[in-house]
Every structure is written in structure tokens, then in C-alpha cells.
Amino acid sequence: MSVDLDRCFASAADQAALVASGECSPLDLVELALARIEQVQPRLNCFAHVWAAEARAEARAATEALVHGAVPGPLFGVPVAVKETTQVAGRRFTVGSRTHQDVVADHDAYVTEALRRAGAIVVGATTSPEFAHTLQTDSPMWGATRNVWNPSLTPGGSSGGSATAVASGCVALAEGSDMGGSVRIPAAWSGMVGLKPGIGRIPMDVLPGLFDSISHHGPLARSVDDARLFLRCTQGPDERDILSVTTPLDLDGPSPSDVRGMRFGLSVDLGNWWVHPEVAAAVTAAATALEAAGAIVEPVDPQLGEADEFLWIQLWGVFMSGYFGHLVDEYADVMDPDVLKLIELGNSISATDYKRLEIQRTDVWRRVSGVLAGRDALLCPTMATPPPSAAKADRTRQRPPDDGRYHAEDMTGVFNLVAPCPALSVPCGVHTDAGYEGVPIGLQIVGQRWREDTVLRIGRAVELALPAVTGRRPPE
């Protein structure tokens, strides 16, 4: 069927304005989203669940509410998606795992409720690797999700379904979660905007425990202004999350973009990463563009590397063993082998050793706070390399060269170790190497604690400076 792609790729704010003006109804937008999902799902596999009947019923109810004088919220009538790791009352809650294939959520997660309170209509849940454990969105439940720019490649993970749903025009906004880059990674490789807010900015109640110190909800969006709108609608505080930040930001209106006089540190390699030359060039060019806009950019060395990444991996292993290790005895045969390895790692770490990791984590903060001292943000790549294959089974791993550099794809997990610092990925370039032509490159902007407004401001300046990069629409 024919689909109005211009309307599919309209911003969330513009879609809400169309409804508020009466130019289209919530049902019109929902039908458009469902039609687009039907078009792209066979090729990209970005949705685990599509709740068409329920979305249509909610759209009709929204239309009735307008007739009876309801004041539309900032996302009124706008179709959105949530990750399958986030609860939606009465809907399947599968977290990418056969261990949860029959689970139905009995409540809305805070973030789901907040989106609905703003008037959004949840049309489906997007794919995730099992328990959101890795940067390739490929799960035992659903198989591989594919990159909209090159379907042989992964969009990234673990919020790869959300990134692909937005990048392909199914929805203007999707929720993701970020424990080690799971919003920023697919944002970078899919050409989207992805925000890891400071911890507690968006209350998180989707995990079994409320005291996790690396986990965040965040938006996948096609623009900084839409990411800001998502944050405006979902920021706390809320009593469901004891760690939620009690002082909300003023996020009304579009994001400012003036960076004159702001100071940024620039590190292309964070101290020891091997970075693909095209990534290094694109990040450096984005920093130069910010300088041209009036910012002061200074080279810095955070001295981050493999030991810090392994620190995060140990925390992640304990997370996996603590929350999902009890499933192994019954379900090991149907679980992802990489999840089992993480659980095994977590089981090998004693409580004392886990507590000692906080000492290493403190040292990471001292290094990061050192480069942020007197500066508004740190600029660096989001991903060091282009993406690997979409399916784990097709992935080839080569022994990295013995060149003294740290060879890893992401440059994100270390910034979950300093969880109060927001980190934003925005498009800043495009790969041209054979096999990766057209695949996006992301700039990561790491800010001072709980200053999401500042990193969004810088991201908006990047968008204005690089319109040919940030305004691209993927091929059909």
C-alpha cells in the first residue's frame, strides 16, 4: 500500500501539531505508523510486538477526548514505541528471551505511563537482544534486527529495534534503555539522536531492583528537539524510583543552539582506543564546526582504556547473574550463550571483589571529572568502528593487532560508570569504505552531571552545522 513518507518522517512535534490543529486525527497517524511497520518489518525486523487493535482503540478514544474538550498534551495522538524490556500493561513482556515468552505485564512502567500521560499512543514493542545484553540486536526469540542503511549489518544494540523503528519512519520517537551504550550505540550506527540522561533523570522501575547504578531510559529520535521533547515528557521525579532526580529541568520549547564561549574537551581515542580513520575525521570535523560556531575546543586525554571497559564488563556480569542467573537451571538450552557467559562471570565475582570495583570506578570518575573541570562537555566518538553483521552467527572475530591500542567497537560503556553524566550521540558523518557506504558515524557529547539541557544544546548546534549529515533519510 502507498504510505505518505513525508508524514512518516515528520518530527514528533510536527505530528502532534497536526493533531492539535485538526489537520489529521490520532487514528490517521496510527494507521500510517501501522502501514509503515508492515512495509519495513519483513526487511528490518525491528518490532517484537505490534499492538494494532489496541493502538487503534486508543486513537479512537483520543479523538473522542478532543471532541469533548480535552487539552492535548505535547505528544497527543503521536504513535511511539517502547523497547520490549519495558512493561506495557496487559501486553507481552518478553525481554528478548524464551524464558519470558509467556509473560504479560500487569502494569505500565513509569516511562510508558509518562509517554501516555503526554498523549502518546504505544503501537508496539521493539526488539532487543536477550536481557538487553549486547550491542547486536539478535535474540533467540526474534532473530536479527537489521540496519536501515545496510540490512546486512546490525543497527547496534541493545535498543536496535527502537533505533531502526525511528530511522525507518515507523515512529518518530522510541524508548530505549542504556546500561553500557544501548541507546547511544544504535543511535550512532543508525544515524539517530540517542540520549543517556544522567541516572535518575527519567525514573526507572523496569528492573527487579531499584538501586542499580548504571541503568537509564533514553530516547531514540531523528532530531535533538524530539529527544528534548521526550525528556520533557518523561523526566521525574517519581516515587517509584528512589534514585529519581528531584529537580526537573526546564525543557519547554525547542533546544537552544548557541555555543559561543562554551568550552569543550576533544578526545578522539579517549586515551587508548583504536578508532577507524573515517570516525576520527568525522568527529574532528564536527569539533571544528563547533569552533566555527564560537566554541572553544581543546584537546584532552581522559586516559581511559581496556581496564576501565573490563571494570564495566564485571559490573555487567554481576547485573546478569543477579537478575537472571536463577533462570539457568531450567532454561540454559534456550538462552543466548553470551548471556550464559556473562552470568558465569558474575557468579565468579565475590561480594568483596564487587565492592572493590567501586574503588576503580572512583578513579574513572576522577579522570572524567578532570577533563570536564572548567568545561561544558567532552567530545569523542560514540563508536570506534563501523557496525558488524546483523546476525551473531555471521560475525567474524579477528585477533586484534598487537599495536598497544584497545580494539573495541563501542566507546560508551565507560560513561555508564559515571552515571550522573549525560551522554548524547548525534550524527556527524558517513562511512565511505567498501561494505559500509552510507552507514552513519556518531559524535558522543558527555556533559556535566545532570546537565542534559547542555548536551542537547551542543547536539543542536552540531545539527545546524552539519545539515547534510543530520537531515538524511535512508534509502527505501
* CA pseudo-torsion sign 64, 65, 71, 74: negative
Q: Tell whether 143 and 50 lie within a shared domain.
A: yes
Domain that holds residue 432: 263-469
CATH classification of the domain holding 101: 3.90.1300.10
pLDDT of 476:
83
Percent of all residues in the chain with a pLDDT value above 90, rounded to a whole number: 95
Residue 476 included in any domain: no
Q: Which of 97, 128, 139, 158 is catalytic?
A: 158
Q: Tell whether 347 and 308 lie within a shared domain.
A: yes
Q: Which of 162, 182, 190, 244 is catalytic?
A: 182
Q: Is 87 left (phi over 0), alpha (psi -120 to 50) or beta?
A: beta
Number of domains in the chain: 2
Q: Tell whether 229 and 310 lie within a shared domain.
A: no
Q: Would the pTM count as exceeding 0.75? A: yes
Of the three residues 218, 234, 250, the one that is the final residue of a domain is 234
pLDDT tens string 210-234: 999 999 999 999 999 999 999 999 9
Find the range with the poorest average confidence among 253-262, 286-295, 392-401: 392-401
Of the three residues 219, 234, 249, the one that is the final residue of a domain is 234
pLDDT of 70:
83
pLDDT tens string 103-118: 999 999 999 999 999 9
Q: How far apart are CA 327 and CA 75, in angstroms?
A: 38
Task: Please measure the distance between the N-terminal and C-terminal CA atoms of the chain and give it in whole angstroms.
Answer: 14
Residue 257 included in any domain: no
Q: How far apart are CA 366 and CA 283, in angstroms?
A: 24
Q: Tell whether 356 and 211 lie within a shared domain.
A: no
Q: Tell whether 156 and 303 lie within a shared domain.
A: no
Per DSSP, the residues of 237-301 read --TT-TTS-SS-----SSPP---TT-EEEE-SSTBTB---HHHHHHHHHHHHHHHHTT-EEEE--
What band does 466 get if pLDDT is binned at 50, 70 and 90?
Answer: very high
The three-state secondary structure class of 220 is strand
Q: Is the pLDDT of residue 1 over 70?
A: no
Q: Tell whether 293 and 228 lie within a shared domain.
A: no
Q: Tell whether 356 and 207 lie within a shared domain.
A: no
Q: Is the pLDDT of residue 314 over 60?
A: yes
Instruction: Please state whether the peptide bond connecting residue 158 to the residue before it is cis, i.e. omega within 30 degrees of 0.
Output: yes
pLDDT of 210:
96
What band does 372 get if pLDDT is binned at 50, 70 and 90?
Answer: very high
Cell numbers describing residue 440: 552513519
Please, what is the average pLDDT of the chain? 97
Order of strands across the sheet with 193-196? 47-50, 121-126, 79-83, 173-178, 216-221, 193-196, 423-430, 440-447, 377-381, 263-266, 296-299
Q: Tell whether 319 and 225 lie within a shared domain.
A: no
Q: Is the pLDDT of residue 368 over 90?
A: yes
Q: Tell whether 121 and 225 lie within a shared domain.
A: yes
- Helix 110-117 to helix 224-234 angle (10° resolution) is 110
Residue 258 included in any domain: no
Q: Is the pLDDT of residue 48 over 60?
A: yes
What band does 33 get if pLDDT is binned at 50, 70 and 90?
Answer: very high
Find the range with the poorest average confidence among 23-32, 68-77, 119-128, 237-246: 68-77
Please check whether residue 196 is in contact with residue 184, taking contact to mean a CB–CB distance below 8 angstroms.
yes
Q: Tell whether 267 and 122 lie within a shared domain.
A: no
Q: Map grid coordinates 531510559 to a residue.
A: 217
Of the three residues 234, 249, 275, the one that is the final residue of a domain is 234
Q: How far apart are CA 180 and CA 415, in angstroms?
A: 8
Is 83 catalytic? The answer is yes
Q: Map grid coordinates 598487537 to a residue.
A: 402
Residue 337 included in any domain: yes
Q: Tell whether 177 and 282 lie within a shared domain.
A: no
Residue 314 included in any domain: yes
Q: Is the pLDDT of residue 399 over 90?
A: no
What band does 397 get if pLDDT is binned at 50, 70 and 90?
Answer: confident
Q: Is the pLDDT of residue 277 over 80?
A: yes
Residue 455 included in any domain: yes
What band does 58 get if pLDDT is binned at 50, 70 and 90?
Answer: very high
Residue 241 included in any domain: no
pLDDT tens string 434-444: 999 999 999 99
pLDDT of 198:
98
- Maximum CA extent, the chain: 69
What band does 470 get if pLDDT is binned at 50, 70 and 90?
Answer: confident
Cell numbers describing residue 65: 477526548
pLDDT of 2:
79
Angle (CA) 224-449-321 rounded to 5° is: 95
Closest residue by Cα to residue 183 from 237, 116, 137, 125: 137
Q: Tell whether 229 and 291 lie within a shared domain.
A: no
Residue 299 included in any domain: yes
Q: How far apart are CA 385 and CA 251, in angstroms?
A: 33
pLDDT of 471:
82
How many helices and strands in the chain, by DSSP H and E? 15, 13
Q: Is the pLDDT of residue 370 over 80?
A: yes
